[in-house]
Structure formats: C-alpha cells, structure tokens
Amino acid sequence: MKYKNFVILIVEGDKMERKNAWKKYDDNDLNRLHSLCEDYKKFLDTAKTEREAATEIIRRAKEKGYVDLEDYIKEGKSIKSGDKIYVNNKGKAVALFNIGTKPLTEGMNILGAHIDSPRIDLKANPLYESDGFTYFDTHYYGGIKKYQWVTLPLALHGVVVKKDGTKININIGENKEDPVVGITDLLPHLAQEQMKKEASKLIEGEDLDILIGNRPLESKDEDKKEKEEVKHNILTILKEKYDIAEEDFLSAEIEAVPAGCAKDFGLDRSMIMSYGQDDRVCAYTSLEAFLEVEETTKTLSCILVDKEEIGSVGATGMESHFFDNAIAEICALMGNDSPLAVRRVLNHSKMLSSDVNAAYDPLYKSVMDKNNSSEFGYGVVFCKFTGSRGKSGSNDANAEYIAELRKIMDDADVSFQISELGKVDIGGGGTIAYILANYNVEVIDCGVGVLSMHAPWEVTSKADIYEAYRGYIAFLKNA
C-alpha cells in the first residue's frame, strides 16, 4: 500500500517541536525587531490610558493618510477603493478601514484589540482628609491583585471637564520633575493579623486610597484656619496649576497607573517590562501591521476598543454598535444602503482577536499544561478557547479556519504556537472574540504571551512582539 502526502512530525516529549524564533533571525531581522520594539516602548509611554492610546492611534493613522469618517459624512463624499478611513468613538475607541478593490459585501480581514488596562480609578467624590493626610478615594478597574498596587509610585492620568465644556488634561508623575503619589502599606512589625488574611483580602478594595498630601495650608491668621488644612492646600494647588475646583471631580476621569517608562528586561535585553501590555502589545502590533499594508484587494479593518477589562460594555466597548454603525455608514457612502449590507459584510469577514495569552512560567508550573501553553520566544499565540468550566465563555474557533491560518503563517515563515490559558478548570479569561463571532465572523484569539499578566508591571518577549507584527501582516494580506 502506498501513502501519499505523509508528514513526519518532530516530537519533543509529547509536543510538536517548534523552533525558538530567535534562532532564525539574521542581522536584518534583528535590526527590524529592535526598531519595532523601540517604537513600541515609546507607544507604551505615550499611551497609558485608553484616551491617550486612542489619541496616539489617530495621530499615527493621520500620518499615513487616514481621514475621519465624519468628514465624508458631512461633505456627502462617496467612498471608493483605496480610501483610508478612521472612526473616533468618543476619544476612547478607534476603528480603521482600508477600502479594497473587491466589493465590501465580500467581507473584510479584521484585526481587533483592546486599549484599556487594569488600573485604579478615582471616585466621583474622591478628595478627603483624615488625621493630617489627604487622600483620593478610589475604585479599582479590571481584574487586579490588590496587594500588588501598594507602595508603588503612581502617576495620575486623565481629563477633567468643566461645566462650560473646557477639557483639562491631567498627567502628573511621569516627568522627571513631577511628584508621584501612592498607596501605603502596613509595616511587617505590626502586620501579624494582616498576614493571616487570604491574599484576596490582604488589601481590601476600599483600602486602595491614594495618599496625595500632608502639608497644611499656610495661614498667618490663626482665627481663619481651615478645618481641613491639608485638603484645602491640595485644592489651592489644583486651582493654581489646573484651574480645577473640588466639584469638577464630578465630571472627571482620572486614572492612577504605575509611574515610569517601559524598559528592556533581562541582561540580554530580550524582553520588555511595562505597565499596560495587556492589551496594548496587541493593539500596537495590530496597528503597525495594519498601517504597513498600503494597497489591498479585500477591505481591511482594525478595531481598537475600550472596556474589555470590565466585559466590553458601554458605548466605547465592543458590545456597543459603533463598529457595525461605521460599516453601515461606509456601505451607504459606497452606494449600498441596504439593511442587509452590514450583515453580509460581517458574515463574510475573518478576524484575529488580538489579545494576550498567559505565557508558561516555570515558577508556577502547577497551574500550567506545558504541552498546551505558550512559551516566550516561540512566536505569536493562537488560543482556540479561553473559558473554564467546560470551555464556558469561549469562542472555540472551527478547525477549517485554524487550518487556513496555519498555512498563512507557515507560508510567511511566521513563528506561531497554539495555547490554552492554564489547566482545565483553573484557567479562563475573556476577549472580544465572541462578540464578533455573534455576527458569524470567523474569529480566533491571536496575540502575545505575557508574564505577570494584570500586574502593575508585565513582561513580554521581543521576539513574540516581532512575530505578532509579522503574523498580522500575513493575515491581512492573505486571509
């Protein structure tokens, strides 16, 4: 009996062997990798919040010739092949479109990532004084280990919008001359009872209040001293520097994030440590890959959205209709305002939901299935399902689509791996993939492995960043 197309798999233990991506690079690859990662670190430092990320994304898109969809709508201008369009959704989410030569109803190739990250937000009435200290009262955002956020230098980023519509941008703690703020912790000498608590309760959510001042307001008139002199001094500083009154916090969005810049990690400089790499590592590589492709037959799209860390809710999250509304507007400006047009576009579309994966960590191997975990330096990661409890909450992409993606990656010599998110009934986690799947879009999670995910400082591999960028280009061009 003769066998045709018989393939021999190289096996390492029980796992198909894939080479470490670093081993295939020549000097040209290493130069491109270095250039990409240096730019990525600048992006991370510029875009520490979803607002800052959206602003930077639009700036980079406009440099590449992208035009606001609102300009087309206001002018009643037709959209044609070759047009490059961006949609700004309330300054917190962005959708990009590169219009191809094929009819839009034949579908798009879509990259999608989120630009929000776990953090600590100020409450609507945040400012208070207690026993000579002034604090910001907070409510944490997204899944965090609360004990990791104490004794860190924190920066304040965000906006304050006054009643007359004036918008004041806040960025305190990033410049060399800036002060920082932070959350205190109990010294070990007095922490006997604290250390008996479960890790999840070691620091309670209501104890994540940020210390911002201790100096009382100077007053020469003892009879006119304020009751809360330290708080009043802080308000005086805010008024002088930003023209902000206490009631202006009612219409503010201020986020506390780790102060400091992205850095090379490891003595070999093979990794990057930074705040917010979940999911700005995928947002950045998706954006740069998308902007790299100039001409296309099939329309391309890149969605970079807010609120994923709290369930993709709200007007700027993926659960909103801003993306399909934008497609409807584009279809109408291309002469097809049929109610079926948007459904046909999405029904024929393919997507990579660009989101991070939990990389294998030898220090915590008990929760990992090594044969089904992503590894640093082995390339971009496909994750077929992320749900626990019998794949609950996952997308579970079909085998036909994965086979197509395997061929695309291999043909482009992109290093890739397939992973789950921890052992069965231990792991889990959400992405935006299932939301697009509801429109019958072919979609799978595809991103970069991360160590210390959701910690104030996360770690990624430069090789994986580079391979994700290359993989997203291959998908856009060939899917």
| CATH number for position 61 | 3.40.630.10
Does residue 175 sit in the same domain as residue 228?
yes
Please give the pLDDT value at position 390: 81
**Residue 6 lies inside a defined structural domain of this protein:** no
pLDDT at 105: 95
**Co-location of 123 and 108 in the same domain:** no
- Cis peptide bond upstream of 68, omega within 30: no
* Residue that the structure tokens 């085998």 belong to: 399
- Count how many domains the chain has: 2
CATH of the domain at 141: 2.30.250.10
- What distance in Å separates the CA atoms of residue 454 and residue 456, rounded to the nearest whole number? 7
Q: Which residues are within 8 A (CB) of 335 and not within 5 positions of it... i.e. 6 or more apart?
A: 78
Q: Does residue 398 sit in the same domain as residue 468?
A: yes
pLDDT at 454: 96
- 80 and 129, same domain (yes or no): no
pLDDT at 178: 96
Is the same domain home to 310 and 431?
Answer: yes
Q: Dihedral (C-alpha) 94, 98, 99, 105: value to the nearest 10 degrees?
A: -60
Residues 310 and 398 in one domain: yes
Asked if residue 167 belongs to a domain, the reply is yes
**Final residue before a domain boundary, out of 228, 258, 288:** 258
Tell me, yes or no, whether 50 lies in a domain.
yes
Give yes or no: residues 208 and 240 share one domain: yes
Q: Which two tokens stand for residue 168?
A: 């004041």
pLDDT, block means (10 residues), the chain with 479 residues: 46 64 97 98 98 98 98 95 97 98 97 97 96 97 96 98 95 95 96 93 96 88 72 95 94 98 98 96 98 96 96 94 96 93 96 94 92 94 83 84 97 95 80 90 95 97 98 97
Query: Final residue of a domain: which of 214, 232, 258?
Result: 258
- From its phi and psi, is residue 125 left (phi > 0), alpha (psi between -120 and 50) or beta? beta
Q: State residue 88's pLDDT score.
A: 98
Q: What does the pLDDT read at residue 12? A: 46
Last residue of a domain, one of 204, 229, 258: 258
Range of the domain at 184: 119-258
Do 151 and 242 sit in the same domain of this protein? yes
Examine the domain organization and report whether 64 and 19 are in the same domain: yes
Q: Which residues contact 471 (CB under 8 A, 6 or more apart)?
A: 379, 380, 409, 412, 414, 416, 446
Same-domain status, 108 and 128: no
